[in-house]
Amino acid sequence: MTTVFVLNGPNLNLLGRREPHVYGSTTLADIETLVRGKAETLGAAIMFRQSNHEGQLVDWIQEAGAQGAGIVINAGAYTHTSIALRDAISGSGAPTVEIHISNVHAREGFRHRSLIAPVSVGVICGFGPMSYLLGLEAVHQVMVERARQAKPSQH
C-alpha cells in the first residue's frame, strides 16, 4: 500500500470562508473527505495535514521522505516564496505533486512563479477541489510505476 501526505499551507484552513469567488465554498474538511474517498479506491493511505507554519510543513515533508511516502502539496503563498520548502522536497526524495485550487497563472503576476515546481514531478492547478484528486491520482501512479521498476524482473 502506498502512503501519500496531502499537505496544506497557510490560510487553507479558511477555505469555504476566504475569498469564495476565488476558492469556492468547499471547506478543507470537505476536501479531506473527497481525498480519503479517492485514496480508498486507489488503495492508498493518506496523511492529511494543514499548517500556517513553514517549519511544520518542512518537518512533514521530511517525514514523508523518511517513510517512502509521496506528497501532494498545496503550499499556498509559500509556493512563491519558500526556498525551505523547495529544499525539503528536493532533499526528501519523496515524489511530489504541487497543486492549487485556482489557476495561479490567471491571477496576480507574483503567483506565476513557483519555487517548488522545479523539484516536483508535476503541477496541477485551476480545477478547484478536483486538483487534489488529480494530484493524488498522479503521485500514486508515479509511486506505483517506480515500485514496478524497482522490482527485479523474473525471466
Domains of the chain: 2-150 (3.40.50.9100)
Is residue 132 annotated as part of the catalytic site, yes or no? no
Is residue 53 annotated as part of the catalytic site, yes or no? no
Confidence (pLDDT) at 104: 80
Q: Using an 8 Å Cβ cutoff, are 135 and 42 in contact?
A: no
Q: Which residues of 79-110 are buried (b: 16+ CB within 10 A; e: fewer)?
A: bbebeebbebbbebebbbbbbbbbebeeeeee
Task: Pick 8 or 110 by higher pLDDT.
Answer: 8
Please report, rounded to a whole number, the percentage of residues in the chain having pLDDT higher than 90: 80
106 has pLDDT over 70: no
Confidence (pLDDT) at 18: 73
Task: Tell which residue, 41, 42, 14, 39, has the closest CA to residue 101.
Answer: 14
Confidence (pLDDT) at 154: 61
Mean pLDDT of 93-115: 85
Q: pLDDT tens digits, residue range 128-140?
A: 999 999 999 999 9
Confidence (pLDDT) at 152: 77
CA 64 to CA 47: how far, in whole Å?
9
Instruction: Out of 21, 78, 80, 100, pick the active-site residue.
Output: 100
Report the chain's mean pLDDT, rounded to a whole number: 92
User: pTM of whole model > 0.75?
Assistant: yes
Q: How confident is the model at residue 31 (pLDDT cuts 50, 70, 90)?
A: very high
